Chains A and B, each alone.
Chain A
Amino acid sequence: MKKRKLARKAAATVMAAAMAMTALAGCSSGNGQSNSGGATTAADTAAATTAAAADTGSAATAGEVTIKFRYWADNTDYSQLMQDIITKFNAENGKGITVVGEETPWDGGAYSENLFNVKMGGGDIDCATWKLTSTPLFVNNDLLADLTPMIDTWADKNDIDDNIYGIMKEAGGSDQIYVMPWNIQVLYVYYRPSIFAQAGIEVPKTYEEFLTAIEKCTMDTDGDGKTDVYGFGMRGAKGGQEPWGSFIYGRGGSFEDMTTAGAVQGMQDFIDIYTKGYVPPTATSDGFNEIIANFQSGLTAMTIHHTGSSANMVTALGDDVSAFPFPAGTGQWTSMGDTETVIFESCKNKEAAFEWVSYLATGEGQKLWCEGTGNVPVSKTLQASEFFQNNRFMKASIEGQSYAGILPILDTTTEWISTLWPNTVSQALTGSITASQCMQTLQDGLYQ
């Protein structure tokens, strides 16, 4: 009896000990964040968790160095392309630098949120691909390395336009450069020449002609009384603020003050093409996949995107797809989509990481990536090459570069893009609020 009791106690003790060890192992995964009592700010926490790993700048590359690089890829071809570029760099850099690529999906912007969570938790990513809208958040939390000293001594510094460095500084909110330029995507208008021919119109040269083209390209092609082709593929879901901006500026509005008469009129134009049935009824929830699918299937005659999708467009439509820069009205604007790279403050060998990001910016990596994806290079040398000068989509991008811009990069921008813009514009499109109320809400939400 006593022996049985002892055996039961021993078994119970072993099980309890196993559970305790599991709990301790789970809790000790290296997450240094603590919010208890609220006394620790996020900045202090980030500094505390990365202090042990931070390289404060004097070390040169010595021996073998591994750089962890996180990136996203829009499709499997680009994924393979990036892996090929990494392999090439690792084989040819001659400085013992090995880049290890870690791909995570863009996922409508969740890439940036996940990256923030990882870095705040002390994750060991050294550098990553980037969107400017994330810059204030990371700078405020002291997560990014200041690249200014390295860029100032970089041999290829002048191969990138000063204007682009200016935009990088603006995003960081100071004279420091935290973001390394990589490539840009200037939005233009895709159109179907066959549908234009059917509608009897030419490529619009003004904003007003563009609105007329949308109307004329909306057609019932089989005479059954239902619209078979819509003039424009409107993107009403998250991300749609970029093509939408062209309408606002077309009437003389701007992002600085979205409540002016011109801005409100631009919003009214946007509402009108929806309520008049010139865009698919699904527009309020159409995202990237939907507008591209609708355009390639012939449901829409025009849509707005950039060279990143041009290769797929040509595969799907051959010569029956072309592009023109968004035309001028009272004003003219198109979104300059951006993709950059950053090096994190926690990186132990920033010089090695800079070798990699500069290879992407002006070296062989820039050439391979931009030629493979159709993105506009930031390297002036590469921009002047025959490949980019002879591509009709690249031409539309380069023509739009002079009036391309970005949304104000504020700490409210991410929430504005993700939640406020799509829902407020949907309210306006569906008639719950007026154009004026919509623009006031957007203004208040961005500049709170």
Chain B
Amino acid sequence: MVKKRTIWPYLLVAPAVLIIVCVVFIPVLNAIVMSFQSYDLRRPKDIAFIGLGNYQAIFKDSLFWGALWRTVVWVVCGVGFQFLFGFILALLLNRSFTGRGIVRAVSMIPWVTPGVLIGLMWRWIYDGNFGVLNDLLMRFHLVSAKIPFLSQVSTAFPSVIVTIIWQGIPFFALMILAALQGVSTEMYEAADIDGASPAQKLFFITIPSIKNTIFVTALLRVIWVANSVDVIFNMTEGGPAYSTQTLSVYIFNKGNALNLGYASAMAILLALVLLVVAIPYLKMSFGKEE
């Protein structure tokens, strides 16, 4: 009788565990195994175990270090500004005004638009000859000559970062807005009685009340943005001159070239970097609370 009770819950969760194992764990294990092999489908007869060969080659690869640095910039700037503008948007959407429902819905558009479409759309916005951005800049005499945003090294990366910021603002706004609903209004009333300024209420009531949401949302976005390929790939494919090639784009390009061993090794390294960031972050964010 006791044995049946113990086994029953495990049997019920078994299908879900099976799916997760098949879809997540087996491919990850596969990637780890491939990272120790010269797994190049262009030369299938040369596939063999090479130990740390791929990793040694990666550490000597200047493109890898360049891509890693650009990934850091991509994440810090991308997520940082997404948070800043998303927070401001959430505070605005938390106020009552006519048409707030419509504004809330419309502000979600960047988030619900597929990444491929965003990449193509912004590519044409930035186009150096016929793009609408150049047209507006010229009409308002803000520039004297059209800017080839995606064609020159100095402007290509900032341009794609602006695009990813645009895409991610609604997610932060949505999560923070939801968290703001849970902040007690009595605290604001008490603060008003004590003569607190709006800035004091923001920093001493609002932000502390929603900080867990901010931490979790930021961590999720760091991981998603670090791993994202679609926007950059559809805008620049990592060019010109590798100036927009983040590590995930480099991994994608290597995988596309069918050098799966090398691509897998880089993917493992990216995962380790994200773990190194995520674990201390979580400890720091939630450790104080405990």
Binding site for B on A (CB under 8 A): 9, 12-13, 16-17, 19-20, 23, 27, 35-38, 41-43, 113, 116, 120, 136-137, 140-141, 226, 236-238, 280-286, 290, 293-294, 297, 299, 411-412, 414-415, 418-419, 422-423, 426-427, 429-430, 432
Contact = CB atoms under 8 A, between A and B. Distances in A.
Contacts of A136: 42
Per DSSP, are chain A's interface residues mostly helix, strand or loop, or mixed? helix
B24 interface: no
Q: Which 5 A-B pairs have the closest CB atoms?
A: A415-B257, A282-B128, A426-B240, A426-B241, A20-B15
B184 interface: no
A23 B15 contact: yes
Nearest to B144: A226
B130 interface: yes
B237 interface: yes
A42 to B, nearest CB: 4
Given A137-B41, A411-B42, A38 B33 contact: yes
Contacts of A27: 22
Given A38-B34, A38-B47, A430-B152, A281 B12 contact: no
B12 A13 contact: yes
Contacts, number: 136
B242 A140 contact: no
A41 B44 contact: yes
A426 B150 CA distance: 12
Interface in B1-59: 8, 11-16, 18-19, 22, 26, 30, 33-34, 37, 39, 41-45, 47, 49
Interface in B230-276: 236-242, 245, 253, 256-259
B239 A418 contact: no
Contacts of B8: 9
A281 B15 contact: no
A432 B257 contact: no
B110 interface: no
B128 A419 contact: no
A41 B47 contact: yes
* Of A293, A412, A427, most B-chain CB atoms within 10 Å: A427
Contact of A423 (B128, B146, B238): B238
Contact of B41 (A16, A141, A280, A426): A141
Contacts of B238: 419, 423
Nearest to A284: B240
A17 to B, nearest CB: 8
A299 B127 CA distance: 14
Contact of B47 (A20, A42, A281): A42
A281 B148 CA distance: 6
A38 B34 CA distance: 7
A427 B49 CA distance: 35
Contacts of B43: 140, 411
B200 interface: no
B121 to A, nearest CB: 15
B151 interface: yes
Contact of A430 (B19, B128, B150, B241): B241
Nearest to A422: B239
Contact of B239 (A281, A284, A293): A284
A113 B257 CA distance: 9
B232 to A, nearest CB: 13
B212 interface: no
Interface size class of B (residues with CB under 8 A): 35 or more
B279 interface: no
A284 B151 contact: yes
Given A16-B15, A42-B44, A236-B240, A294 B129 contact: yes
B162 interface: no
Contacts of B183: none
Given A282-B148, A423-B241, 13 more contacts: A35-B34, A116-B258, A281-B148, A282-B127, A282-B151, A285-B151, A285-B240, A297-B130, A411-B42, A415-B259, A423-B242, A427-B241, A430-B153
A237 B239 contact: yes
A19 B11 CA distance: 12
Contacts of B152: 281, 284, 430
B45 A43 contact: yes
A38 B41 contact: no
Q: Which of B45, B129, B130, B156 has the most CB of A within 10 A?
A: B129
A285 B150 contact: yes
Nearest to A287: B237
Contacts of B239: 237, 284-285, 422-423, 426
A293 B130 contact: yes
B112 interface: no
A283 B19 contact: no
Given A282-B129, A283-B151, A432 B37 contact: no
A427 B15 contact: no
A362 B65 CA distance: 52
B145 interface: yes
Given A38-B34, A285-B150, A19 B15 contact: yes
Contacts of B240: 236, 284-285, 422-423, 426, 429-430
A387 to B, nearest CB: 35
Contacts of A116: 258
Contacts of A16: 11-15
Nearest to B21: A23
B241 A432 contact: yes
A48 to B, nearest CB: 13
B290 to A, nearest CB: 34
9 contacts: A17-B15, A41-B45, A137-B41, A140-B42, A290-B127, A294-B129, A414-B42, A426-B241, A430-B152
Interface string B141-164: 000011010111100100000000
A111 to B, nearest CB: 13
Which of B13, B47, B241, B242 has the most CB atoms of chain A within a 10 A radius of its CB?
Answer: B241
Contacts of B128: 280-282
Contacts of B22: 23, 27
Given A37-B33, A285-B150, A419 B257 contact: yes
A360 B258 CA distance: 31
Contacts of A19: 15-16, 19
